[in-house]
Amino acid sequence: MGKLKKPPQATASDVVYNALQHKIINNLLPGGSQLLEEEVAAEMHVSRTPVRAALARLEVEGLVYAVRRHGYRVTPITVQDVREIYQVLSPLETVAAELLAEKDPNGLEVDALQECIDRMDAALKNDDLQAWADADELFHARLVDLCGNKRLARAAKLMFAQSHRVRLFALRLRDKPVNSVKDHGALVDAIRQKRPALAREIHSAHRDSWTETLGQILADLNIHQL
């Protein structure tokens, strides 16, 4: 029997990247916040080299942008950015739903999605919007992970990091998401019944509804960027 391989240890760059990404997508570093290599390095007790590598990764993901002689700044999210994020993310998830229904998912895969719905239901009964949001995000992550298309899953997860900032902002400004849970339940039923066209239709309508709701929230508050 071969030796078990140890999981790779996180590098200093990974640690910096994860810390900064967490702060950005959770709006702890708002759009426009300045990030200087030397300041981040001092705060995290590392050299500037891993900081530079982490910032380069974040720039590729669109979460920061370089400013000549002034380090980096956190990329603000404009109303147009919100439209573009969901124009990309919604079709990806809709195809994932269709693919999962087509591939004849096993009971464990369907149960993994149903578990998220059960957690959403419990969270709403307890008026715990943060717990609902956590379960909802897990549902969407599992949906793309289980669809069988690794490239689609990678592309969707890049969008998740950006959409998370918007969802967090809108979380307590939207109506109680009862209909969202119903939509997810209908989607899982379609996947369980191996009806890909129906799965696609349900999830497409769900995403269209959320995009419209989000746009209305931003318009009502006259918000142009986050």
State the average pLDDT over residues 93-120: 93
Q: Is the pTM of this model over 0.85?
A: no
Q: What is the pLDDT of residue 218?
A: 85
Dist CA 15 CA 72 (whole Å)? 18
Q: Name every residue whose Cβ is closer than 8 Å to that of residue 210 and which is 6 or more positions away in sequence.
A: 86, 180
Question: Do the beta carbons of residue 95 and residue 207 sit within 8 Å?
Answer: no
For 127-180, the pLDDT digits (tens) are: 999 999 999 999 999 999 999 999 999 999 989 988 888 888 888 888 889 999
For 69, phi then psi, to 5°, come to: 65, 10
Look at residue 4 in the predicted model and tell me its pLDDT: 47
| pLDDT for residue 1 | 43
Which pLDDT tens digit goes with each residue over 10-54?
Answer: 799 999 999 999 999 988 998 999 999 999 999 999 999 999 999
The CATH code that applies to domain 12-74 is 1.10.10.10
Q: What confidence tens digit (pLDDT) does each residue in 183-215 have?
A: 999 999 999 999 999 999 999 999 999 988 888
Read off the tokens for 65. Answer: 């942008």
Domain 79-220 - what CATH class?
mainly alpha
Domain ranges of the chain: 12-74, 79-220
